[in-house]
Structure formats: C-alpha cells, structure tokens
C-alpha cells in the first residue's frame, strides 16, 4: 500500500461520510512509514481543503461535465492536480506518473492527459498579489509579525477575476462553497476573508495540553527537547505548540498520559468553567473527551463528572482518554436526545454543543462541503435546547459554560442572549470569541451564572 493508494482510499471513505478524514487517516496509515504517513496527511487534507481550486484547474481540460465523472476518477484528478499545484517537493512528472499508476486501466489515458495539461498551466513563479491567473499558495514567513501572501502563477486565467466578481473568486481561489463566501464577505470584508482563506487552507498547528496532574509543563518541554522535537509554550499555562510534524503516539509520555491533543482555543473552555475539587459537574456533550479530562484536572480528580453523549460508541473515546490520562471521576451516560441528562443538581455544567464547525475548517476541511446554510436553523434550535437543559440541572448559584467551535454569531452570542431572555435570573459573567489564526482555531465560550 503506497501513500497515494491510501490517500485515494481515505478520500473515497471521507466522501462516503464514514468518518472525518483525520480519523480515517489515523486507522488507514497505521502500517506506513512516518514519511509516507506524512504524505498521506498532506494529500488527503490538501485535496479536501483545496477541492474547488483543484476543480478550477481541471475543468477547462474536461470534455464532459463533472457530474458525468465517476467519483473515484474525480478524486484521482484532484489528487494529481494537488501535487502539481501545491507540492513543490514533488516533481511534476512524478506527480503525474504516480497518480496514473494507481488509476484503473479503463481511465488511465484520460487521467494522464488531463494531468499533463494541468502540469503545463502551473508555473514555478510566485507573486504577492491575487489574480485570475494566480492561485493562493501559502503564507511566506508565517512566523513573522506580518507574514507575506504567496500566489502561484498560471499560464492563463482559470479563476474568476477578483475585481469583476470577488465572491466568486473567494469561492474558487480559497475553496469555499459560494454561500459561505457570500456570508463571510458581507460580515468580514475582503482583507479578512483573504486572511481566513490562507489560514484555513494551511495545515493547522498541533497543540498539546500538558497533564499537570502528572508533570510540570517545563519538565515536559525538556522531554520534547531531549527527543530533538521543536516545541514552544503557549499563553495558556498548559499549552504546548509542536513545531515539528510527528506521530502523536511517538511523543514522549503518550502511554503515561502526560498530555492530551487539544487545540489552544479548546483549552480555554474548561478554564472558563474552572470547576473546583469535590464539585459535581455535568459535561453534556462530552465526546471525544478532551474537555472532560481537562475538567478533571481542575478538580484534581476529586468529585464527580457525568460525561454525556447520545452515541455510546463516542463515549468509548472518552473512557479511553480518561484511562490514559489517569482520570477516575468520570461517569459515562448515554442519552436519548441530549436533553434527558441526569437531573442533578450539579454545581456546574459544560455544554459544548454540536455546531457548524466553521471555526475549524482547516482541521476538518470536509465540513465546508458537508455543511449547508439550511442547517443553521436546526443547529440553533438544538443548541438552545441543550443550553436550557444544562441550566435546568445546575443548582442556584451554579455556573454553566456554553461553547462552540463556530465563528457564526447566531450560534454563539445569539443563542446565549436568546436563552437569557427566556430564563430569568441568569448573569453573563464572561464571554470570549477565538478568532481563527490568533493563534489557533476559531470558537466561542460564554460563562453564565444561575441566580
């Protein structure tokens, strides 16, 4: 099994919605070398993030509509086009040859012909400005205060002209559905949309939350350095950002539970609740368990956390993470619909609701193709019900933290304020919006106290 074969298989399974791509890669890439596994990640995530741009590169050379192509063939065309346009370390002839090699015989000539034409149109010239003949490539010097933007030149214009139709350009160049480009352009303006486009199309940073119940962050940074791994402390007292690509299971202290993989913005959520030792806490939407174990660390593994989910299978990941991290105070609870949680009363509750995931489009790139604008109404109703359910189950004086990984105001502050209008005696003590790229994923939390 080569990296490209695995990548094509993961793309197919992701398209069929077996799971998110990151989960599929974790299982499918188990037998690969570290180098091949990194290539699988690059290929799969790159194709999913850049899908609309890749289609714009391929479309002019097709003699039939996209809808007439077999989905597997389209995956292979995108896989080859991604290597040609975005992987400068892969020679063009190798990108074409290796992709054609894994193509079924019946379409080999077709795929070969299309990819050769794409190879001819992609140049090795990079420019700092957008245009119909340049595709957004990456951030030049991303660690600097003002990173430059880099676009890769094409021999001919294949994207919409930015001055003529900027929303269409955003959708094609940064690979967003058109409805999302329109939505964000109206809210954020051009410059911020371009910044978000570059951020969400780049590999997201890898953050670890050090388990301070077992080790000091400084000591863990020393362990990483001893292994030759480049890492830096984040502003949150438990946060570590890994600057090297590495398999999580190969990091020091994985089996001993010295850390959990958790994005920086997610670490802020349990910190906002800050439960005390001995408390009784409801974690209403607990899977996969990162925030659950973080709550337990605040509680010094003393007290009680009821971790809920409507899918029993998802709670298995919570239990496994608790075992690895040494957490013993968590009680899994399978619910029927998310609103029939144990009655309590609890001292506090965390309700990390299902949401649009628009704050994590880089980490979960397939979201941009699965999400539809019609879903927001359903999501907001569900989020509102879950927040009411959590508030109903905390005692007077108790606190509830509501959180999402969305950057949509109607899912965030809009839900919180609607609930405050519908339930008397609530105080909004604090709220925070995490902006994508500053320094990690986007999201939101609000801390409410019940009177």
**Distance separating alpha carbons of residues 445 and 413, to the nearest angstrom:** 9
338 — alpha (psi -120 to 50), left (phi > 0) or beta? left
In this structure, are strands 280-283 and 346-352 parallel, antiparallel, or unpaired? parallel
| Residues in contact with 388: Cβ distance below 8 Å, sequence separation at least 6, in sequence order | 339, 419, 422, 423
- Among candidate residues 285, 308, 355, 405, the one labeled active-site is 405
Q: Is 308 known to be catalytic?
A: no
70-93 b/e with 16+ CB inside 10 Å = b?
eeebbbbbbbbbbbbbbbeebebe
Cβ proximity of 50 and 66 under 8 Å: no
Residues 221, 222, 223, 225, CA torsion sign: positive
Cβ proximity of 290 and 321 under 8 Å: yes
Phi/psi of residue 148, each to 5°?
Answer: -80, 155
Q: What is the CA radius of gyration of the chain?
A: 23
**Distance separating alpha carbons of residues 444 and 52, to the nearest angstrom:** 28
Q: Is 403 helix (H, G, I), strand (E, B) or coil?
A: strand
**Distance separating alpha carbons of residues 208 and 257, to the nearest angstrom:** 11
**Distance separating alpha carbons of residues 348 and 178, to the nearest angstrom:** 41
Known catalytic residues are 405
């Amino acid at each position: 099994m080569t990296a490209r074969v695995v990548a094509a298989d993961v793309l197919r399974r992701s398209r069929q919605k077996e799971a998110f791509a990151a989960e599929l890669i974790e299982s499918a890439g188990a037998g690969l070398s570290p180098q091949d596994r990194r290539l699988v990640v690059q290929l799969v995530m790159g194709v999913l993030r850049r899908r609309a741009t890749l289609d714009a590169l391929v479309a002019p050379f097709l003699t039939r509509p996209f809808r007439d192509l077999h989905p597997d063939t389209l995956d292979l065309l995108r896989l080859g086009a991604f290597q040609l346009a975005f992987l400068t370390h892969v020679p063009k002839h190798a990108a074409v040859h290796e992709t054609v090699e894994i193509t079924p015989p019946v379409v080999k000539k077709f795929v070969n012909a299309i990819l050769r034409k794409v190879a001819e149109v992609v140049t090795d010239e990079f420019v700092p400005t957008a245009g119909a003949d340049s595709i957004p490539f990456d951030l030049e010097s991303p660690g600097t205060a003002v990173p430059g933007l880099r676009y890769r030149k094409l021999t001919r214009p294949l994207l919409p002209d930015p001055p003529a139709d900027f929303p269409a350009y955003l959708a094609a160049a940064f690979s967003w559905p058109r409805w999302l480009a329109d939505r964000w352009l109206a809210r954020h303006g051009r410059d911020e949309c371009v910044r978000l486009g570059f951020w969400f199309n780049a590999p997201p940073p890898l953050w670890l939350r050090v388990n301070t119940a077992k080790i000091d962050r400084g000591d863990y940074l020393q362990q990483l350095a001893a292994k030759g791994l480049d890492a830096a402390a984040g502003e949150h007292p438990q946060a570590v950002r890994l600057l090297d690509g590495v398999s999580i299971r190969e990091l020091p202290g994985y089996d001993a539970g010295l850390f959990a993989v958790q994005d920086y913005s997610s670490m802020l959520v349990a910190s906002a609740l800050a439960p005390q030792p001995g408390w009784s806490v409801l974690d209403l939407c607990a899977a996969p368990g990162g925030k659950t174990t973080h709550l337990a660390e605040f509680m010094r593994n003393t007290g009680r956390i009821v971790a809920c989910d409507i899918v029993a299978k998802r709670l298995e990941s919570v239990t496994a993470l608790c075992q690895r991290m040494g957490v013993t105070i968590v009680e899994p609870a399978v619910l029927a619909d998310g609103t029939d949680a144990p009655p309590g009363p609890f001292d506090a509750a965390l309700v990390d609701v299902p949401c649009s995931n628009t704050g994590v489009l880089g980490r979960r790139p397939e979201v941009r193709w699965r999400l539809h604008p019609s879903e927001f109404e359903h999501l907001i109703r569900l989020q509102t019900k879950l927040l009411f359910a959590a508030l109903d189950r905390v005692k007077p004086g108790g606190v509830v933290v509501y959180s999402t990984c969305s950057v949509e105001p109607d899912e965030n502050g809009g839900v919180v304020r609607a609930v405050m209008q519908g339930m008397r005696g609530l105080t909004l003590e604090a709220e925070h919006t995490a902006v994508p790229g500053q320094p990690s994923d986007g999201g939101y939390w609000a801390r409410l106290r019940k009177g």
